[in-house]
Amino acid sequence: MNIVILAAGQGKRMKSALPKVLQTLAGKPLLEHVLVTANQLVGKAKTKPIVVIGHGASAITAYLEQILKDHPGLANAVTVMQKEQKGTGHALLQALPKLDLDEPTLVLYGDVPLISKKTLMRLVKLADGKRGSDSALALLTQQMDNPTGYGRILRDTEGAVTGIVEEKDADRQQKNISEINTGIMVLPSGRLKKWLKSLRASNAQGEYYLTDVIAMAARDNVPIRTAQVDFEWETVGVNSRDQLAALERTHQHVIAMQLMETGVTLLDPARIDVRGKLSCGSDVVIDVGCVFEGNVSLDSGTRVGPYCIVRNSTIGKQVTIQAFSHLDGAVVGVNSIIGPYARLRPGADLANDVHIGNFVEVKNSKIDSNSKANHLAYVGDSIVGARVNIGAGTITCNYDGVNKHQTIIEDDVFIGSDTQLVAPVRVGRGATLGAGTTLTKDAPANQLTVSRAKQLSIQWQRPVKQEKTVASKKTATKKIAAKKTAKAKK
């Protein structure tokens, strides 16, 4: 099967420097949603989706190159240039040389992101997918209460499709038709050359309409079959920012419903945003205002407090993530407690029963079981053993301005508050660091290491403010007044 994604339009109504198909829905460009679905349909077949580009072509090409690096499977697409946007028929004509004429052609739109694989499979089946010129033509249509703006499906008295008329070319009677063209269709490729080349732009918009091939198919006695979508949102297109925002909410609602179906508790399904893939075990509870990005998994019994951001992280069973925590590229073990206001950065790898408290930042560090950093600390490029206590205000000084260095803290270490560990440095098993220590050399196991000036007590008198009496205040005012008159006389 050939898949052509039309994406050359400008998207004027977005009023954006970014091409419309690169605007994001659920954190992903519109075009990426379509590409993911297209690649699922193609499966292991060697055919690549063909993307027709025009407006913002260089940005789209750059994007495709980028995702080729990030997700090699996905960018399995080729582009075709449509220099001037002369209509959807003209757009498909540009892709014609790249089509396998023995296979049917599925036409998708770069700005209709949520069309499902299931619906498309049904449509492809309907077209019968035989040899290119022998297959039927399948149209995805929809009944709409308000069909304004869409092309209308024309049928004869028997109900057979005879053509499509665009809104701008429709007469009053045709405008009353409520069955619309979603734009998505499967075409017999072998006939496309003849049909597309005979398109004329003699219509209200002066464009070469792809929709005009439907009447040609009817004339050529090609069977025209129609299918409908399961959900209306599948064929919603994005033309403006309000439509994009509305579709985002619809999509998030669908995701929220799916999560709840799998046994997740959402305190408010209207207040969650999933921008990627969120997998949850049973009895996960998610409070309001959380954002999940990339690949996130939350194992059974884990609770996420309000207003957390979790990106590309793997969270074990029975973990508690408290309000306002920010996790990115982290692994959190069973029973751990994170936050409130904790920050786990890429490479934070926590074993079970670890506690990371408020205003603690962990980056590229392994922390073994039952260790704690409960308040105001920075743990970077470190290996921390089990049962370690990291006191408030402790900082690993991992960066000398050029290089990053490692800190190793062995099992059962106790680090007093406000300690700086100047890496590279190692704290031996069972060692204690006194509060305020600046550790520049390794600390031996099982000893107390402290670097601190000796405490002194000296007799002295703290300067005391002179209490101003009412009388002294009066004389002060007089003095000022006298100065002023003296100045004036000068």
Distance CA 113, CA 33 (A): 5
**Residue with the shortest CB distance to ligand UD1:** 151
The residues pairing with 343 across neighbouring beta strands, listed in sequence order, are: 326, 361
The reply to whether 25 sits near ligand UD1 by the rule CB under 6 A is no
Number of residues binding to ligand UD1, judged by CB under 6 A: 27
Select 82 or 419, whichever has its Cβ closest to ligand UD1.
Answer: 82
Please list, residue by residue across 140-162, b when 16 or more beta carbons sit within 10 angstroms of its beta carbon and e when fewer do: bbbebeebeebbbbbeeeeeebb
Q: How far is the CB of 303 from Ca ion (least distance, A)?
A: 43
Task: List interacting residues with Ca ion (CB under 5 A).
Answer: 237
Local structure of residue 110 (DSSP, 8 states) = T
Nearer to ligand UD1, 21 or 296 (CB): 21
Q: 143, 183, 136, 145: which is closest to 164 by C-alpha?
A: 183
Distance of CA 197 to the CA centre of its chain: 41
Q: Which stretch binds ligand UD1 (CB under 6 A): 175-183, 257-265, 434-442, 462-470?
A: 175-183
Q: Which is nearer to ligand UD1, 235 or 318 (CB)?
A: 235
Could you tell me the two tokens for 440? 């520049």
Comparing CA positions, the residue from 269, 229, 230 lying closest to residue 253 is 269
Cβ 243 to ligand UD1 shortest distance, Å: 11
412 binds ligand UD1 (CB under 6 A): no
Among the residue ranges 209-217, 299-307, 464-472, 476-484, the one whose residues contact ligand UD1 (CB under 6 A): 209-217
Q: How far apart are CA 102 and CA 107, in angstroms?
A: 16
Please select the residue that binds ligand UD1; options are 25, 30, 67, 164, rule is CB under 6 A. 164
**φ, ψ for residue 35, nearest 5 deg:** -65, -40
Nearer to Ca ion by Cβ, of 188 and 237: the residue is: 237
User: Which of 55, 253, 375, 405 is labelled catalytic?
Assistant: 375
With binding defined as CB under 6 A, does residue 6 bind ligand UD1? yes
Q: Does residue 234 belong to the site contacting ligand UD1 (CB under 6 A)? A: no
Quote the CA–CA distance of 37 and 234 in Å, as a whole number: 12
Active site residue 326: no
Interaction of residue 19 with ligand UD1, rule CB under 6 A: no
CA 6 to chain centre: 23
Give the nearer residue to ligand UD1 in terms of CB position, either 94 or 449: 94
Outline where 177-330 has alpha helix (H).
Answer: 189-197, 213-219, 241-261
Could you give the C-alpha distances from 484 to 472, 474, 479, 487, in angstroms and in order?
Answer: 19, 16, 9, 5
Site for ligand UD1 in 180-199 (CB under 6 A): 180-183
Rounded distance between C-alpha atoms, residue 40 and residue 264, angstroms = 27
Given a contact cutoff of 8 angstroms between Cβ atoms, the answer to whether 144 and 235 are in contact is: no
- 384 lies in the site for ligand UD1, by CB under 6 A: no
Residue 119 binding ligand UD1, by CB under 6 A: no
Nearer CB in complex with ligand UD1: 109/378: 109
Q: Which parts of this chain interact with ligand UD1 (CB under 6 A)?
A: 6-9, 52, 82, 85-88, 90-91, 109-111, 150-151, 164, 166, 180-183, 209-211, 237
Give catalytic residue positions. 375
